[in-house]
Amino acid sequence: MKIGIIACGAIVRELVAVAERLGWDYELTAVPAQLHNRPERIAPAVEKRLDEWAGRFDRILVGYADCGSGGSLDALLERYPHVLRIPGPHCYDFYGGELFRQQAETQPGTFYLTDFLARHFDGLVIEGLGLDRFPQLRDTYFGNYKELLYLRQLPDQDESTRAQKAAQRLGLDYREADTGLDELELRLKTLIPLQSSP
């Protein structure tokens, strides 16, 4: 089975790691992670890639959660019967699984960072939200947050130093947790069971 993966740039490394572990025959293309700051643009960007790849793959995996698209991504994918999306509202859920759900329930005022987001915090958050030019907006954006939880996927990509600096910059309490890629791998195996490893 030939699999196409259209991935958010924020989870490319992790998807490649799992696809390699599962022995998939795949090709991957990425959509810029910066679109999270303009989620209404996610579905059109994915649609463009889907149209370019029409007929080339047995299955196409969309490496996105809903990501703030308000259901427009799922509405788009209904038109493509061989396309599957990783289930979940955002990548924190399919990295953290139960850990994320417990944190969201007990501390709804949590700002989450993944390896990618910690590594690119300045560009995606500080510059992306204009906080470099208008630092007074910090309280507007983050006034209701209490904690920053860094979800570490790959130990060899440890970004805890950057994550701690991000928490300090936002004035939030810092916590971290090792999630690994097991939850993501489980969801991918469930979506494409014939391609899972024995």
Q: What is the pLDDT of residues 152-161, one digit of tens each?
A: 998 888 999 9
Do the beta carbons of residue 102 and residue 111 sit within 8 Å? no
Question: pLDDT of 122-160, one tens digit each?
Answer: 999 999 999 999 999 999 999 999 999 999 998 888 999
Taking all residues of the chain, what is their mean pLDDT, rounded to a whole number?
A: 92
Topology adopted by domain 2-91+181-195: Rossmann fold (3.40.50)
Q: What is the DSSP letter of 167?
A: H
Domain with CATH 3.40.50 in the chain: 2-91+181-195
> In angstroms, rounded to a whole number, what is the distance separating the alpha carbons of residues 115 and 12?
11
Question: pLDDT of 173-185, one tens digit each?
Answer: 999 999 999 999 9
Q: What is the pLDDT of residue 194?
A: 57
**Rounded to two decimals, what is the model's pTM?**
0.88
Reading the block at residue 97, the tokens are 């699984």
Q: What is the pLDDT of residue 197?
A: 42
Cα distances from 7 to residues 46, 60, 137, in angstroms, run: 9, 10, 30
Whether 37 shows a pLDDT value over 70: the answer reads yes
> In angstroms, rounded to a whole number, what is the distance separating the alpha carbons of residues 15 and 129?
27
Q: How many CB atoms lie within 10 A of CB 80?
A: 16
